[in-house]
Amino acid sequence: MIFLTPTLLAGDRSLANVMLHEIAHSWSGNLVTMAAWQHFWLNEGLTVFLENRVLKRLFGAEAYALHMEDCYTACKESVEGMLKINKSYASLAPDYSSGADPDDGFSSIPYMKGMALFCFMEHKAQVSEQKFDAWIKSYFAKFSGKSVTAPDMINHYERKFGKGLVNWNKWLYEPGMPAFWPKYDTAFIKPIKANAKDVEWTTGKYIVLLDHLLEKDVTTAQLKALQARHNFDASTNPELIFRWAMLGIKGKRASSIKSGLAMLGSVGRMKFARPLSRQLLKYGQGPAAIKVVEKAAKEFYHPITTRMVKMDLGLK
């Protein structure tokens, strides 16, 4: 049985990758799972790897490129954020030995950097996708119904492909972005980031565009032009509502601030709630965000969401 958030019901099947991710967890995370929180990347990194593998085969190179761009952006944002909090949390295997709460170190890093490591392992093995897939199947078979550690997986990999191919210490314990990132066709990406006229827009392309714009300064005139061309205000897709609100809050657009507060007060998914709360606080809407969060915390937020969002807003 798989429980899914209603925010995946976008109405355009654009979030099928999340369905693939959760189905893949039936093997990487359920059939074989991590033995400790330091090894969380074994669950999530391998699951993203499998998700991307299936996504590319089902939907093609363009869909894969768009998703990989999203993965890179998510990893980069998390690394930058965690380096400011605790350098260990910006590594693939954070140190929780002092009794730190693993929730404090939660980010997209074990997902995306973990995925990059499995891609690097395949790259260094120098075998076909089919042969590397066969090794993954053997991993699931060997450790079925068990909890595993990084050394368990590493030993299984090295028995098949040999030692010395991967610098495990660097990958696991060095904070920051991975030195290796999986290749994908960036020709699909450049026109999107340029907001080119000949782009046939889809949700995935809009995500890439908005993520790109979020890294830049934005003016009221630019926001007005984007709305006139793309009508983001009318979107019912949570991924686009979230990103458009984030961009508009940065540009101090009143309707976007209202939209961001509305989403913060109606969606308890940390993927949206935490960045929105930080963005609202950063751009002068902290008191309004706190009021919304206090109400949501009483009515429906999960306790972990409540604690993390309040921490983001500077509350105890």
Task: Name the active-site residue from 22, 62, 77, 158.
Answer: 22
Known catalytic membership, residue 283: no
**Whole-angstrom Cα distance, residue 168 to residue 151?**
10
Contacts of 149 (CB under 8 A, 6+ apart): 34, 35, 36, 39, 42
Known catalytic membership, residue 44: no
Contacts of 40 (CB under 8 A, 6+ apart): 34, 102, 110
Task: Name the active-site residue from 64, 72, 89, 111.
Answer: 111
Q: Annotated catalytic sites, by residue?
A: 22, 111
